[in-house]
Each structure stands twice: as C-alpha cells, then as structure tokens.
C-alpha cells in the first residue's frame, strides 16, 4: 500500500499550477493552532511508514485532527512544510487549506502533553531521519513552540474515545479517517471517497485454476 498521504495529496498538489495565486510560505517553524481530536489505533498487519528515511514498520499510532494556519496548508508546486509531532513526522491525510483542519496519523503513541506539534522546514519527508527531527525540534523549541495545553489534549482524547483495533491501515482510513475528513474538511469529500474505494485483489494463478 502506498503512503496514504501520497495517495490523498497527489490530486491536490496538481492544482498548484503556474500562475495561480498562492500565498508565500509562512516562516518556519510554525506551531499548529490547536488539537481538536486524538484517537489511538492498533493494527494486526503493520505498514511501512514512508515519511521517514528508515521506513519503520508501524502497528500502532495516533489519528489526529489539528487546526492550523491555512497559509501553511496551501498545495504548492515546491516542497511543503513537514508536520512534526514530538520526535516523529506525521502523515497528512488531506490538505486542509480550505477548512483549516488537517487530519493526520502519527506512528507510535507520543505523549501529547509533552510533544510539541509544529510545521518545520520544507523537505522531502522520505529523507528525514532521527538527526533531522532532533535538529528541527531544537529549532522549534528555541522559537518558543511548546506542547499544547494539557486540558486541550485531554478534551481531544475524550472526543476520540476508545482505541481503534483494526486489521490494517486501509481499514482505519476507510472508516474513521474518512469520517473525520467529511466532518472537519468537507471540501475534500473526494479524499474520503477515495479511501472508501474497495481494494481490488490481484488475481493469482490459483484463482484462475
């Protein structure tokens, strides 16, 4: 399965055509405006996380809904700011430039009361390793970016509810992530519909026999 972000964002990035009025990228690092929703998930079948150079296998993580400056989210023909959560890169599932809401997944289970959430230097996410994340976090903390208030994190986790137990990432995208996009960024309904398209299993010789 390809990176969920790549699937969801390829079409959106295509609209950043030459001549379109795209605002300049805000200075980095830039904190998110808030955390709306947070829910943990665990998978029976892991997936390779393409937004890290190391491409670790992921079997658990967090599904988040974040509020952010729309200027940070506009699709661009050039590199876009990377979203970080603590010591990890986050995978955006939508653009959010019309709604101001980003739905994202984060590998592992970072403590959101201790992990700052911010947009860092525009880069190719698949080239980011531990050393890059460490440097980006130090820069963010020097700029005054801090973890979100504990009461906000608590409210987001309460809204998220019980952990999701799923077979694979596709199941999480098809159900909860699709619903979140429809609720918080309805302008991107096409992405939710894309997540819900049934997976076509490739025929094998055994099937033909």
Q: Is the pLDDT of residue 115 over 50?
A: yes
Residue-averaged pLDDT of the chain: 88
| 8 A C-beta contact, residue 87 and residue 115 | yes
Q: Pull the structure tokens for residue 8.
A: 């969801």
| DSSP strand pairing (34-48 vs 164-166) | parallel
What pLDDT shows up at residue 125?
82
Q: Is the pLDDT of residue 46 over 90?
A: yes
Q: What is the pLDDT confidence band of residue 17, given thresholds at 50, 70 and 90?
A: very low
How many other C-beta atoms are found inside a 10 Å radius of the C-beta of residue 161? Answer: 12
Comparing 39 with 15, the larger pLDDT belongs to 39
pTM flag (> 0.75)? yes
1 DSSP assignment: -
Q: Where are the domains of the chain?
A: 4-197
The mean pLDDT value for 63-72 works out to: 96
Backbone angle region of 30, left / alpha / beta, with phi > 0 → left and psi within -120 to 50 → alpha: beta
The mean-pLDDT minimum among 82-91, 147-156, 198-207 falls in 198-207
The mean-pLDDT minimum among 4-18, 81-95, 131-145, 154-168 falls in 4-18
């Amino acid at each position: 399965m390809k990176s969920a972000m790549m699937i969801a964002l390829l079409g959106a990035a295509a609209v950043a055509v030459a001549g379109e009025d795209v605002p300049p990228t805000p200075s980095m690092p830039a904190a998110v405006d808030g955390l709306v929703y947070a829910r943990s998930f665990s998978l029976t079948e892991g997936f390779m996380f393409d937004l890290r150079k190391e491409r670790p296998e992921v079997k658990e993580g967090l599904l988040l809904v974040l509020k952010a400056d729309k200027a940070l989210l506009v699709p661009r023909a050039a590199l876009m700011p990377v979203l970080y959560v603590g010591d990890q890169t986050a995978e955006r599932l939508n653009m959010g430039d019309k709604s101001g809401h980003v739905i994202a997944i984060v590998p592992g289970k970072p403590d959101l009361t201790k992990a700052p959430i911010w947009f860092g230097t525009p880069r190719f996410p698949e080239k980011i390793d531990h050393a890059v994340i460490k440097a980006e976090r130090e820069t963010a903390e020097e700029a005054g970016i801090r973890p979100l208030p504990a009461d906000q994190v608590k409210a987001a986790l309460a809204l998220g509810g019980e952990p999701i137990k799923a077979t694979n990432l596709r199941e999480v995208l098809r159900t909860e992530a699709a619903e979140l996009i429809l609720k918080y960024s309805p302008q991107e309904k096409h992405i939710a519909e894309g997540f819900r398209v049934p997976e076509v299993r490739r025929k094998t010789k055994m099937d033909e026999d």
